[in-house]
Structure 1
Amino acid sequence: MASFDDKVIAITGASSGIGAATARRLGRAGAAVVLGARRKDRLETLAEEIRGAGGRAVTVAIDVADADDVRRLVQTAVTDFGRLDVLVSSAGIGPISPMAARRAADWDAMIDVNLRGVLHGIDAALPVFEHQGRGHFVTIVSTAGLKITPTMAVYGATKNAVRTVLEGLRQESTDGTIKTTAISPGYVRTEFGDSITDPAIRAQIGQGMAEFALDPDQVARAVEYAIDQPWEVEIGELSIRPTVQG
C-alpha cells in the first residue's frame, strides 16, 4: 500500500470494532484520522495509541443520529487538517429480533443509526468534497443485506437502503468528483451482539463470533485497499466473509 500521508480521513463508529481497526490501520499508513463515536473515553485512548506510534489523530464525541454532530466531525477535519478526503461510515447497531416480537423502538434505532447516520454523513461531507473537487465515501454495510435471514429483516433492510443510496449517489457522480464504496462484512468479532436484547438470538450470534468470526482488521484492510486505488478506479462493492460462513 502507498503512504497515506496526504490523506485526511474521518471515521464514525471509531471507538470499537471495525471503526477502531480502520483508524489504527489508516493511522499507521500515515493518514490524519478524525475519530467520531459516542464514547469519548475510548476515542481518546485510541487517539493516544495512534499518536504514540507517530500518527495524527483527533477525536470528536458524536452520535451519528444527530446531523449536527456529524457536521462537527466533518468540520473538525477541515479545521484541524485543512480538508477531508474520505468519510468512513462504520457506526451501526443491530438489536435484531423476529418481526413478531414487534420491537418498534429497536426498529427506529436501527433506522436512525444505520440509515440516517449514513445520510447525515453524506449531507455533511458532500459540500466539502464538491468544493475540493473530489471525495470518497466508504461505508460499512453488511452481508445481512445480501442474504436475508430470520430475525434480521429490519437490520438487513437498513443495510440494503444504504446500498441503494450509495449506488444512486455513484450514478449521480460520474463526473469524477465523488467515489462510493460499500463494504459488506459477514461475521466479524465486534460488539454487534451487545445491542441484541433477545437472549437466544444473542447467544446464537455470540457463538458464531466465538467460533469463526473474522478479526476487524481484515475488514480494515479492505477499507485501506479501496482508498488506496488510483482516483480513476472506484471499488464499488466488496463482500468479506469467513470462508466457513453459510
Structure 2
Amino acid sequence: MAALQDKRIVVTGASRGLGEAMAVGYAREGARLVLAARSRDDLERVRALCADAGAEVHVCVTDVAEEDQVQSLVRTAVAELGGIDVFVANAGTSYPGLTDKRYTTLDTYDADIVERVMRVNAIGMWSCMKAAIPVLDEGASFIAIGSETGRIARAGSGIYAVSKACVDVLVTIAAGETAERGVRVNCLTPGGMVDTHLFGPDKMPEHLKQLPMGYSEPGVIVPAAVWLASDESRAVNGAQLSGRHFNATGAAQVLAELAGDTGAAGSTAVAGSV
C-alpha cells in the first residue's frame, strides 16, 4: 500500500515550485488532495498532473493573505474530502528587491513591501493554523514550509528573513498547544532553491546562486514532506526539519536525532538545519 493511501491532504501554494512538487509527490503516494493557490490556470495544470498520478484532486483558488479565503479553503476541503488529515502551509512570497538589491538594509524598505511579505508569510501562516488546526483530529499533521533564512539572519537578510523567523515561532507555539490532542505541527525547510518562483520570471539571479549553502530543485523536499504526512512520523512534533538533511540521513537517523534533542514544551527541536 502507498505511504499516504487515502490521506486527505491540503496544500497551499500548490500551483508551482515546492507546492507543485509536493502535490504530485502526495498524489503518487495515494493521497486525496485539495490544492490551493491564487491562479486557477496554474492550479488546473497541477491538478492534471496529480490526476495522471491516480489521485482524487480538487482545487480552491485561495489567497492566504485573506483570512476569509483560508477559512473557505478549509470548509471546502472538509466538504470535498470529508475531513483533513494533513494541512501543508506552503504559500509564501518575496519581493523584487531580493533580486535587484533595491532593499539593502531594513531602513530602505517601503511599507507596502513589508506589509505584503508579513501578511503572506507570517499572518498567512497564522491564518492557516487558525482555520485548519481546530478541524484536525488525533494523528493529523500540520506542515509549515519555512526557510533557514530566518535562522541564519544577518545584516542584509531583510524582511523576508523576519517573516520566516515568525514561521519558526508559530510552529513552536502551535506544537505545544496541540500536543495533548495528538495533532503534530512541524516546520519543513527545503534549503536553498534554484527556483521556487519567488524570484519572478528570470528565476534565481546569479549573485544568489553563488552563496555557500548550495541550491537544489523543488523535488528535494518531497521525501521529507511525504514522511511528515505519513503515520511513520506520528511521534514528531515541533521539529524544524531540513529536507536536504532528511534525504542525506534517512528517517531512522532523523528520528534518533530528534529523540535526543527535545524542546522546552516537550516538542522536538532542530534537526539538520543547514
SS at structure 2 position matched to 1:5: coil
Q: What TM-score results when the alignment is normalised by the length of structure 2?
A: 0.79
In the alignment, the residues of structure 2 paired with residue 84 and residue 100 of structure 1 have an alpha-carbon distance, to the nearest angstrom, of 42
Give the aligned partner of residue 163 of structure 1.
168
Q: AA paired with 2:78?
A: V
Among 216, 224, 227, the alignment partner of 2:226 is 224
Distance 2:227 2:84 in 1: 18
Distance 1:13 1:183, change over 3 A: same
Aligned residues: 237
Deviations 1:89-121 (A, max 9, x none): 111112243224222211111100001111111
Q: Residues 116-135 of structure 1 correspond to what in structure 2 (within 5 A)? A: 116-129=123-136, 132-135=137-140
Please tell me whether the aligned partners of residues 187 and 241 of structure 1 are also in contact (alpha carbons under 8 angstroms).
no
Partner of 2:252: none
Distance 1:241 1:51, change over 3 A: closer
Give the aligned CA root-mean-square deviation in angstroms: 2.6
Does the aligned pair in 2 maintain the 1:34–1:60 contact within 8 Å? yes
Cross-structure match for 2:110:
103
Q: 1:7 to 1:124 in 2, by over 3 A?
A: same
2:197 aligns with 191
| CA–CA distance in structure 1, aligned partners of residues 210 and 199 of structure 2 | 10
| Paired residue type of 1:148 | A
TM-score normalised by the chain length of structure 1: 0.87
Q: Is the 8 A contact 1:3 1:30 kept in 2?
A: yes
Letter in 2 for 1:19: G
Change (3 A) 1:76 1:128: same
Q: Are the equivalent residues in 2 in contact too, given 1:4–1:26 (CA < 8 A)?
A: yes
Question: Aligned in 2, Cα 1:107/1:119: closer, same or farther, shift over 3 Å?
Answer: same
Q: What is the CA distance between 1:221 and its match in structure 2?
A: 1.7
Question: Matches of residues 1-246 of structure 1 in structure 2 within 5 Å?
Answer: 2-95=2-95, 96=98, 97-98=103-104, 99-129=106-136, 132-189=137-194, 190-194=196-200, 202-205=205-208, 207-208=209-210, 212-230=214-232, 232-234=234-236, 236-240=239-243
SS of the residue corresponding to residue 161 of structure 2 reads: helix
Query: 1: CA distance between counterparts of 2:92 and 2:210?
Result: 19
CA distance in 2, matches of 1:142, 1:23: 19
SS at match of 2:199: helix
Q: 1-side partners of 2:186 and 2:201: how far apart?
A: 26
Could you tell me how far apart the structure 1 residues matched to 2:200 and 2:12 are? Answer: 18
**What secondary structure is seen at the aligned counterpart in 1 of 2:116?**
helix
**Whole-angstrom distance in 2 between the partners of 1:240 and 1:43:** 24
The alpha-carbon deviation at position 195 of structure 1 amounts to 8.9
Secondary structure, in 3 states, of the residue corresponding to 1:59?
Answer: strand
Q: Distance in 2 between matches of 1:145 and 1:212?
A: 17
Measure, in 1, the Cα distance between the counterparts of 2:70 and 2:43.
15
One-letter amino acid of the structure 2 residue matched with residue 14 of structure 1:
A
Check the 8 A contact 1:10/1:84 in 2, yes or no. yes
Secondary structure of the residue aligned to 1:174 is helix
CA offset at residue 241 of structure 1? 5.2
Q: What is the CA-CA distance between 1:167 and the residue it aligns to?
A: 0.5
The one-letter code sitting in structure 2 at the alignment partner of 1:50 is: C
Q: What's the offset of the Cα at 1:8?
A: 0.5
